[in-house]
Amino acid sequence: MPETRRRAYVRGGAFAAAYRPLRDGPVDALLTATAAAHPQRIAVADGLRHLTFAQLDAAASAAAAMLRREVGTGAVVAVASGLSIDFAVAYYAVLRSGNVVAPINPLLREPDLAHNLGVARVRAAFADRTLGQRLASIRDGLPELIRLFGFDLLRELADDPAAAGAAEPAGEPEPQRAADPDGIASVLFTSGTTGVAKAVALTHRNLTANAVQTVRAHRISAGSTCLNHVSTYQAMHVNSAVLAGATQVLCADPDLTRSFVLANGYRATHYYSLPARLNRLASDPRLAGLRFTTVRAVGSGGSALSPLAAHHLADRLGVAVFQGYGLAETAPLVTSATPEDPAPGTVGRPVPGTECRIVDPDTGVVVGAQDPGEVQVRGPQVMVGYLAADGGVEPAGGGWFATGDIGRLDARGRLVLLDRRKDLFKRDNWLVSPIALEQRLARHGAVLDCAVVDLPDEISGAVPHALLVLRDGVEPGTVRAILDWANIRAPYYEHIADATVLDAIPRSANGKIQRRSLRDLLVARRRAA
C-alpha cells in the first residue's frame, strides 16, 4: 500500500514462529502441549479449589469420552457458565470430543436462551443447577436438545477421570478426531441491528491464532499468573493462558477487595477487570488502602474505560492500565494497547497478523490519517461467517470485516473509538440492542410508541433511556410501572434507567428513529438542568 503513511491504515506485527505448529491443529492441542510441558503447574484456581494442567487435561479427556458416547460428534454443545473452573473443563471437553462449543451467557432470559440454542441447533448443554432448571423449562421448544449435563459431573471427573462411567472401555482406542484447522470449533452469539442474536462461526485456526495474538499483545508467559475479575469466562482468556502455560485465578466475587486479596495471594502478574468496575474503583474511597504486590498490568476491554479513571488507577496502583478491542466475529481481540504503551483513551494497535483501516462509511474509501470513519479489520482471527437457518454457514466473504464502529487512528497508529455506526451499545461489558428493548416496551398496553437511546454513564459506559408516547388516558405517573414491567423481563444490563414522555417520537422521512439526534438532545437537556 503506497500511501500507508498518509492513510488511516495500520498493520500489526508478525506471529511468533514458535507458535506456528500449534495454529495448525485443534484448539485442545494447546492444552495437550502445555499439560505435557508443565503438568504440575496450576492451570486454573478460584481460591477454593484448583486444577493443574495435567488434571485439567485429564478431566477434559474423560468428559470428552462421555460426550462422544452420549452425544456423538459433529454437534453443537453449549456451555452456560459464569466465572468458573467448570467452564475450562467443559470448553476443552467439547472440543476434544469432536464437537463444537457454544459458550452461552448465563444471564439471558428464557426467550433469548431458546433463540440462541435453537439457531445453533444445540444438541447438549452443560449448566449449573439453577440454569439447568431454566433450560429444562424451555426444552420442549428445542427438539434437538437431547441432553443436559450438570457441572457436578465435571467436578467428579476432575477428581477422578474414571468417575461416572466416563472412561472409554478398556482396550477401545480413542476415536480419530478431525484436526482440520479450518473446521468450525466454536459458536459465539452476538446481536444484530434487528435485536436478534446471530451465531458467529469460528474455526480452530481463528481461536488458536487469537490465542497467539493475545499472548503477544498482553505479554503473557509461562511465568505469568492472570487474575480474572470479570463476569463470565471468555475463550480469549482461557486459550491464551493455556497456550502460554500461565496460571489463571478466577474471582467471581464482585467485591473489589476480594479480587485484590486473591491477586496478591496468588502473586498475580496480570489483573483483568471490566471497564465498569475499574471506573467505580477509581472513585472508590477504599482505593487508597488497596495495593498490588506483584501485578504489573491491569487489562480491560469490551466497553469504554474513562481515560481519567485509567490515569488515576495507574498513579494510585503504580501499574499500567490498558485496553483492548474486539468483537465476537473476531474471536475476539483485534487491537490492544500494551503494558509498555498503555495509552489511555485508545485501544492500542492491531495485534500481530492483523490489519486495521478507517474508511468512509458510505464509500468504503480509506480516509486520511487521523480522520474518523468506520473501523475495518482483516486477520486470521476473523470469523468464517454466521450460522444459517439450514445449519450451514453464511460466508463472511473474506477480506475486510466491517465492525460497524466509528474510530480514528492516532499519530502513532493506535485506534481511538468514537461511536457505533450501528444502534448497539455496551453497558458494562454487555451488548445492548435498543430495538430489542423497544420491542419489549411496545408489548405493554400503555405504550403507543417508543424509542430507546443510550445515555453516557461514568460507571457503566452507557445506560438505556426510553422515550415514550403513552396511549390516551394513561397518566404519566404510570411510567415507572412500565419500566419495572419491562426490566423484570430482562437481564440487569438491559434495564432501562429512566424515561421521558413525549407527544411523538421524532423520525426521519423514511420512518427511522434518529437515535443520535435524540441522544444529543437528551444529553444537552441533562447538562442544562
CATH of residue 474's domain is 3.30.300.30
d(CA 301, CA 110): 27
Same domain as 449, residue 485: yes
Q: Is residue 395 part of a domain?
A: yes
Predicted local distance difference test score (pLDDT) of residue 5: 46
Predicted local distance difference test score (pLDDT) of residue 514: 78
Lookup: cell for 502? 413525549
d(CA 104, CA 187): 9
Q: How far is CA 18 from CA 22, 212, 377, 419, 506, in A?
A: 8, 10, 25, 38, 57
Same domain as 443, residue 386: no
Same domain as 475, residue 397: no
Same domain as 81, residue 52: yes
Lookup: cell for 234? 471468555
d(CA 483, CA 441): 8
Same domain as 402, residue 264: yes
Q: Is residue 189 part of a domain?
A: yes
Lookup: cell for 328? 465476537
Same domain as 462, residue 335: no
Lookup: cell for 258? 476480594
Contacts of 45 (CB under 8 A, 6+ apart): 51, 85, 247, 248, 249, 250, 266
Cis peptide leading into residue 380 (ω within 30°):
no
Q: Is residue 9 part of a domain?
A: no
Q: Is residue 268 part of a domain?
A: yes
d(CA 98, CA 64): 8
Instruction: Report DSSP letters for 328-373, one per residue.
Output: GGGSSEEEE--SS---TTS--EEPTT-EEEEE-TTT--B-BTT--E
Predicted local distance difference test score (pLDDT) of residue 435: 81
Task: Centre a 10 Å sphere on the Cβ of residue 220 and count the other Cβ atoms it contains.
Answer: 24
| Residues forming beta bridges with residue 124, ordered by sequence position | 77, 147
Question: 54: exposed, middle or buried (C-beta count within 10 Å: 0-12, 13-18, 19+)?
Answer: middle
Which helix (DSSP H) or strand (DSSP E) does residue 77 occupy? strand 76-80
Q: How far is CA 405 from CA 71, 185, 423, in A?
A: 39, 26, 10
Same domain as 327, residue 466: no
Contacts of 364 (CB under 8 A, 6+ apart): none
Among 398, 418, 438, residue at a domain's last position:
418
User: How many distinct structural domains can be found in the chain?
Assistant: 2
| Secondary structure of residue 166 in the 3-state scheme | coil
Angle between helices 256-265 and 275-282 (to 10 degrees): 100
Same domain as 456, residue 413: no
| Residues forming beta bridges with residue 247, ordered by sequence position | 225
Among 397, 418, 439, residue at a domain's last position:
418
Same domain as 141, residue 48: yes
Same domain as 371, residue 481: no
* Helix, strand, coil distribution of the chain in percent, nearest 5: 35, 25, 40
Q: What residue numbers bound the domain in which 468 lies? A: 425-528
Predicted local distance difference test score (pLDDT) of residue 429: 84
Q: Is residue 438 part of a domain?
A: yes
Same domain as 241, residue 362: yes
DSSP 8-state assignment for residue 287: G
d(CA 65, CA 62): 5
Angle among Cα 353, 355, 361 to the nearest 5 degrees reads 155
Q: Is residue 207 part of a domain?
A: yes
Lookup: cell for 506? 421524532
CATH code of the domain in which 256 resides = 3.40.50.12780
Among 418, 433, 460, residue at a domain's last position:
418
d(CA 63, CA 67): 6
Q: Which of 340, 333, 416, 343 is nearest to 377 (CA)?
A: 333
**Gyration radius of the chain over CA positions:** 23
Tell me if 247 sits within 8 A of 224, measured CB to CB.
yes
Q: Which of 215, 205, 277 is nearest to 245 (CA)?
A: 215
**Which pLDDT tens digits describe the chain residue by residue (529 residues)?**
344 446 889 899 887 655 565 667 899 999 999 999 999 999 999 989 999 999 999 999 999 999 999 999 999 999 998 899 999 999 999 999 999 999 998 888 898 899 999 999 999 999 998 899 999 999 999 999 999 999 998 888 777 766 545 444 444 445 445 568 999 999 999 854 445 789 999 999 999 999 999 999 999 999 999 999 998 888 999 999 999 999 999 999 988 899 999 999 999 999 999 888 898 899 888 999 999 999 999 999 887 788 989 999 999 999 999 999 999 999 999 999 999 999 999 999 999 999 999 999 889 999 999 999 999 999 999 999 999 988 889 988 778 999 999 899 999 999 999 877 777 788 998 878 888 898 899 889 999 889 999 999 989 999 999 999 998 899 888 999 999 999 998 999 999 999 999 998 887 655 567 788 888 889 888 888 7
Same domain as 352, residue 484: no
d(CA 421, CA 425): 10
Q: Is residue 522 part of a domain?
A: yes
Predicted local distance difference test score (pLDDT) of residue 504: 87
Phi-psi sector, 127: left (phi>0), alpha (psi -120 to 50), beta = beta
Q: Is residue 394 part of a domain?
A: yes
Instruction: Report DSSP letters for 1-27, one per residue.
Output: -TTGGGBSEEE--PPPGGGGGGGGS-T
On whether the pTM is more than 0.95, the answer is: no
Q: Which of 260, 251, 308 is nearest to 288 (CA)?
A: 260
Angle between helices 29-37 and 53-70 (to 10 degrees): 150
